[in-house]
Structure 1
Amino acid sequence: MKVADLFKHRSEHDSKQQSEFMQWMSPAVREYWGEFLNKANTRLMFTRLRELQQPAVNDEPPQPKPIELKPEAQALFDELQGKLDTVIHTGDWVSVSQERINQFGQVTEDMQWIHTDPERAAAESPFKTTIAHGFLTLALLPKMTDSVDPEGNLFPTAKMVVNLGLNQVRFPYPVKAGNNIRAVSTLSKVTPIKKGLEVEREIKVEIEGVRRPAAVVVSVIQLHF
């Protein structure tokens, strides 16, 4: 039975009962009762319509169409699936000199003395020296992960790598002026997308000679093919 026919049948049946009942009412009560029923019938109609539109309990929800990857993307996906939860890259050591810290401070206009005044830091800082900005450490991630090195590209078959950002950032230990740091990347997740692959990595920034890392981040990039 069509939805319209169902409403018509139910409406005719209800109208007959309502008509017989209203004959026993006074005119004033009958007028009030009629307005009440009109509003109630409208609400009931929309309620029944919503119920009819709901899928049956046993109906399976529609399944999304599987993503078809290009051959080069599929090959890389298969390769990376075998590397989940393993270190896929360890960068070279990068020196964080006082000059580099000062240059970053000038660009970002963050010239706090804990970063740029070695004499005051030696006298007043608990670290007894200047320390790098946390955002300087993050800014060095493209270099430390070889993301900007065309000769050391970690994903050479991808036409373009897009940085989606960081899901999580922590700075367990400060980077002191003169420290060397490097990034160690562990593959966490690989997901097919329409344009290629989405790759999630946990990146630890190590400090040479220090047990605790300078930063731990979860990086998300997209590889377009």
Structure 2
Amino acid sequence: MKKIDINKYKIEFMEKFTFEFKEWMSPAIRDYYSLFIKKANNNRSQLLSWVKEYSILKDGRSINIAQKPVQLSPEATELFFQLRGQIGEEVHVGDWLTISQQRIDQFADVTEDHQWLHNDIARAEQESPFKTTIAHGFLTLSLLPRLTDSVNPEKPLYPNAKMTVNYGLNQVRFPYPVKTGSVVRAHSRLIKVTPIKRGLEIEKEISIEIKNMRRPGCVAVSVVRVYF
């Protein structure tokens, strides 16, 4: 058996074992386990990613083993080097925001999701294990731009960019419900920056802290593309 075949077998076995092991865990332990593995892999891969994924050479030319070279503008090159030095660091902590019943009701009207857990205060006090209404998970998720201060026209995150696009989200979780009246804020940690055509793709892990609570209300990886 060739060495590459053995490695493939090992990878498939470990993936299957990890999946079955995680399924055995309780949801709470599973969240902490996933976060631990993510951080461990991130620390290990930071050094390797420079070689495996791409290298920035002189004149802003990016060489990717799997793709054609990407020519970066001077502005994109400068930002790339700046962000590379911040990978793994917390790059932003937002202001506190109170999640009111009015905000929850407005979100319910827009999405047509009027489940009693969110909107029926009297019933929630009687039947909900939280003894109050809670915010929709997607409401918390939708507040990421506001909580990360990425929609403030007076303080753009990337002033030299021509356009910033929300490209998507990875690994979204809601570890703990956000109760009505809770005060929340976002913590953003930079985990990856990749040169792309005409710009950069930036990934941040965003955790929504609930004041006086140990567990976050939401954890997600935000993927943004910045064009120059």
Is 2:120 the partner of 1:136?
Answer: no
Shift of the 116–159 alpha-carbon distance from structure 1 to 2, 3 Å rule, reads same
Residue 201 (structure 1) aligns with: 204
Residue 185 (structure 2) aligns with: 182
Structure 1 residue 147 displacement after superposition: 1.4
Higher-Rg structure is: 1
Residue 215 (structure 1) aligns with: 218
Residue 92 (structure 1) aligns with: 95
Matches within 5 A, 1:39-118: 64-118=67-121
Q: Equivalents in 2 of 1:216, 1:64: separation in Å?
A: 31
Partner AA of 1:164 in structure 2: Y
Point out where structure 2 has 5 or more consecutive residues left out of the alignment: 1-64
Size of the alignment, in residue pairs? 164
Structure 1 residue 104 displacement after superposition: 0.4
Structure 1 residue 64 displacement after superposition: 4.4
Q: Equivalents in 2 of 1:71, 1:99: separation in Å?
A: 46
Residue 36 (structure 1) aligns with: none
Describe the SS at the equivalent of 2:201.
strand
Residue 33 (structure 1) aligns with: none
The counterpart of 1:127, out of the listed 120, 125, 130, is: 130
The counterpart of 2:194, out of the listed 170, 180, 191, is: 191
Shift of the 64–137 alpha-carbon distance from structure 1 to 2, 3 Å rule, reads closer
TM-score by length of 1: 0.71
Structure 1 residue 152 displacement after superposition: 2.3
Residue 145 (structure 1) aligns with: 148
Point out where structure 1 has 5 or more consecutive residues left out of the alignment: 1-61
Which string of whole-angstrom CA distances, capped at 9 and with x for unpartnered residues, describes residues 35-54 of structure 1?
Answer: xxxxxxxxxxxxxxxxxxxx
Q: Equivalents in 1 of 2:72, 2:129: separation in Å?
A: 53
Percent identity over paired residues: 61
